[in-house]
Amino acid sequence: MAPGIDFFDVDHTITRRSSGARFISLAMSRRMLPRRLIFVLPWYAITYRLGIFRLREYAEGFPHLRGITRAALEAIARESFEGRLKADIFEGAAALVEERRKAGRRVILATSSLDFIVAPLAEHLGVDGLLATTLEFRDGVCTGNILGVPMFRREKKRRVTEFLAREGVDPRDCAFYSDSIFDLPLLETVGRPVAVNPDFRLRRIARRRGWQIIALP
């Protein structure tokens, strides 16, 4: 049997701010996206942290990205990471990832964020893999659609458990680190659920069930 794996959520678990919001902000400043989106971002942030975000708003895809090349999106993602998101990384989270890897554990990021946005972070942390929401591209150009279903709530659990089945890894030998009540299905699946800077609903559940709670400044 293969050894267990430690999975980490990204936004508000490893980074203080949303990786997607950082990307959108820079893309607006480069006139790649319409500036009116600046009025939408706070709503998404508030509903997410309150645990009332609705998947249908995400599952419709990203029509504003339609027609943009993968190379252009990846370039903005890299610039966003180097200029903004890298400074958002919790030092304690980066140290925890490194500690788990030195202990011989594989570390994989499991996030609802888009894969090309989070890829520079995964490379920077030296993790062993990335499971994320994926956009559809045709001939290197974004269609604005999502491939399959956004990696959110039960879909994140499904994607991770299918990955573990392919790897021959028992979920009971795995850990998952997350801040969000939306990740409860996967937290309940692994043998070691860890609440990192949890929102108030997840904190309440973690305390009641005796899960480890980590506070990162």
Listed by start position, the domains of the chain span 5-214
Closest of 1, 215, 10, 3 to residue 103, by C-alpha: 3
| 47-97 pLDDT tens trace | 455 554 455 555 567 888 889 999 999 999 999 999 999 999 999 999 999
Amino acid letter for position 65: L
The pLDDT value given to residue 12: 94
pLDDT tens figures, 116-146: 999 999 999 999 999 999 999 999 999 988 8
One-letter amino acid for residue 81 of the chain: F
Residue 154's alpha-carbon distances to 69, 78, 158, 188, in angstroms, are 30, 29, 6, 11
DSSP-assigned letters across all residues of 127-163: -SEEEEE-EEEETTEEEEEESSS-S-THHHHHHHHHH
pLDDT tens for each residue of 23-42? 988 988 888 876 655 545 44
Overall pTM surpassing 0.85 (yes/no) = yes
Tell me which CATH homologous superfamily contains domain 5-214: HAD superfamily/HAD-like (3.40.50.1000)
Number of separate helices (H) and strands (E) present in the chain? 10, 8
Helix, strand, coil percent values for the chain (each to nearest 5): 50, 20, 30
> Looking at residues 87-113, what average pLDDT do you find?
96
Residue 63 has a pLDDT of: 82
Is the per-residue pLDDT at 17 higher than 80?
A: yes
Per-residue model confidence (pLDDT) at position 34: 65
